[in-house]
Chains A and B, each alone.
Chain A
């Protein structure tokens, strides 16, 4: 199983909180590979994939941010009509629920790499493998 470490960080909807967080990460020389923000009226959850997970974990802990490290799956989705649909259909067939998903931005021509968080990783892996859908390795995701 090849899962990717994603940081999910709790960010209160207060002026400047998001800027403070992204500045902290940038100043530590950590690159964001991709990010997505889920927000409500009160709070947001910033989900990021970074090039230096160990450093990021230490940094967030030292600075008192509330976060979780979640394992997600990186899928190499062909950048063509129906690419994402194929993946979702496969997961659906295996009764795997997608909690959320978002894309990496424009990395490899011809591919739209996507981050998917599912409720049952094992089932997801086996169905994707059986459908010959390629997965991102950790190294590829962090782009080391």
Chain B
């Protein structure tokens, strides 16, 4: 009788032991597979976070180092402004995804016939009600109101740097006046001066996502204007509307980086641009949100990893204990096998095959069961069930390592008995 046959007969006839080991392997492997899937979901979440938290740095005038002048409204800083030229130099640094700088003004909007549009909740004074709080954008996608998620596009498109004569208004205002994407309206900075009136095409509509009942979120804190009364135009449009006023440049600009981890390095690169006098400008990193979220995410990551390691170690100890107990109880058998001339390596191989036979059944089943429970377990770690996926790579990894660990466990369990001479094994059991 060969050792393979003996292994199969043992596994089949000592079915209670087989079942115990099978259940143990099944549950451990299921847990470890789920753990791996959760840890991967974790990694993915962290990666996604890097791409979406919109980490940026702001370059602004340093009024502390500039001089001060006096004008009609009191003293003002004479510090230089950020020019388009400077901003283009900065954005050319590797790793910067885009930037935005805004000029805020109040524009009066009317339809093509010159009929003033009305704010969402009009006061009854037409010259007040037609005032809309407006921003110019180099790229509206990077405007802080869109990035923060307070506003969201619901129709049309964003204002790209190349876009001219376009405007984005809120869906509520558009609905109120029967306007749609593609319609034309008119805008003027100050209707009582000789400021130019421009015809602008509505390129997009936004929705206010912030909670309507939450006053603080629903209103632009800086202006007390309802977000629905905001409007966005391109940089060139704004400059044309304000052509009667001096173009000084921007007080500050926001630059967005692809990978929050790189932020510090990028800022250092930016500071090396010699054509900009860095004595006149301050760079501020805006990565508190990323730091906060990512540290909580990496905490969960460490927890998941610790749990996987813990489960694996504890279960290995458990399996080694069970196997050593089982092999100790098989001393008599080992003595007999040795007495009839079967060699020690063949006996160890038989025990190894028995264990692997159980693993061959338990591992694939664990793959299937982990697919069922991984999602559920993932929700305990703040993952969505759909994001926790047990892949075939996980399975291959666990099956290979599992097999190696099991073989090691059998070998370790066999050491005490294998050091004995056959006579000692036989006399010990009598």
State whether these chains interact: no
Residue positions of A touching B, CB distance < 8 A: none
